[in-house]
A and B are shown apart, each in its own frame.
Chain A
Amino acid sequence: MTIPTPELDERFRAAAADEGLLDVAYDVFDDTAMGPLLVGVTARGVCRISFDPEPEKELELLARAYGPRVLRSSRPVDRLHRELDEYLEGRRRAFDVDLDLRAQPAFYLRVLEELAGVGYGETTTYGTLAARAGNPRAARAVGTVMNRNPVPIVLPCHRVVGANGSLTGYGGGLHRKEQLLRLEGAIL
């Protein structure tokens, strides 16, 4: 035997997380209804959900934002995995996980906090969200914040649409926005 067995590999990855040595534990969920999702979790909470992930690029970004000890480890992301599955199967309407948004600039944070208050099956507009975040004329900037949402699905940027009701855009592709809104019954 000249290579570490998968069991040994997983044992190390679990031990690394258990001992609290990771800046970010991440995993790729290959088979969700939304396609593959890469998720990242710090000691504080979920910091990343990414559609169509290019792991190499994502790992570099995570390392730069949170520290170089970025390792794939499934146990820390178990709960998020379960909640995402439940949500995507229509069995869950809200997420019960902590978030780590420390890498977000102040304006982004304000907007994302307002976004968190938009409930399941509802929609709002970029302008409304801008006003709630304290700057009614910042609709376009809010669009940028949505586009760069670090934790889509959990922070529901798919529930934000144009003033005329058009879906406008989505970081993960418009088809996914449509899929999520349909799942929630917000569109037919």
Chain B
Amino acid sequence: MSMAVAVPPFETFYETHKTEVFRFLVRRVGPDRAEDAFQETFLKALRAYDRLEHGEHLRAWALTIASRIVVDGARRARPQGEMPELATEDARPAFEELAPMTDELPPKERAAVVLRYGYDLGYDEIGEALGSTESAARQAASAGVRRLRKEQDR
């Protein structure tokens, strides 16, 4: 058992992750829309920040919020009723299809799935972001995908 990592002051969290979050957003939505998405991401983080119970996985948390904002933005831009189905036969489902469904996953699996398919991180990086190992990250991602497929088949 290790001690829970304390939540750092928001300034520290923001300074640590702002560049990576911005780069991620530029890649996902382009430089113009990245600016608003950036602000939205960190305002959303700020709104939830005083309810965090520990300071672990904050990098994964920040990237997950950014991913959700990209997805929500894409959904708003698309006409109603045209959300794509999750392609079950695709070994690497597109993240936009996956993200709305990952809410119910256990946190570690959700973070692994989002970072693997949304952010395209390697399992070594995901392991690092989650404070665990490469193989644990691989397992969490594949367990998450299996769970999503089961959900969809139901």
| Interface positions of A (Cβ within 8 A of B) | 1-4, 8-9, 11-12, 15-16, 19, 21-23, 26, 56, 59-60, 62-63, 67-72
Contact = CB atoms under 8 A, between A and B. Distances in A.
Interface in B1-50: 7-12, 14, 18-19, 22-23, 26, 31, 35, 38-39, 42-43, 46-47, 49-50
B18 A9 contact: yes
Contacts of A68: 7-10, 49-50, 52
A21 B50 CA distance: 10
A19 B44 CA distance: 11
The 9 closest A-B pairs by CB, nearest first: A59-B9, A70-B9, A63-B9, A4-B22, A21-B46, A69-B10, A12-B39, A68-B7, A2-B23
A16 B7 contact: no
In this complex, the member of B7, B11, B46, B50 whose beta carbon has the largest number of chain A beta carbons within 10 angstroms is B11
5 contacts: A2-B26, A3-B19, A15-B39, A69-B46, A71-B9
B33 to A, nearest CB: 12
Contacts of B22: 2-4, 8
B43 A16 contact: yes
The dominant DSSP class at the A interface is mixed
Interface of B: 7-12, 14, 18-19, 22-23, 26, 31, 35, 38-39, 42-43, 46-47, 49-50, 52
A151 B19 CA distance: 34
Contacts, number: 67
A4 B9 contact: no
B151 to A, nearest CB: 34
Contacts of B43: 12, 15-16, 19, 21
Nearest to A56: B12
Given A4-B22, A11-B39, A16-B46, 6 more contacts: A12-B42, A23-B50, A56-B12, A62-B9, A68-B49, A68-B52
A8 B8 CA distance: 23
A3 B9 CA distance: 22
B46 to A, nearest CB: 5
Contacts of A4: 18-19, 22, 35, 38
A107 to B, nearest CB: 28
B31 to A, nearest CB: 5
B50 A67 contact: yes
B12 A59 contact: yes
A125 to B, nearest CB: 38
In this complex, the member of A9, A12, A19, A63 whose beta carbon has the largest number of chain B beta carbons within 10 angstroms is A12
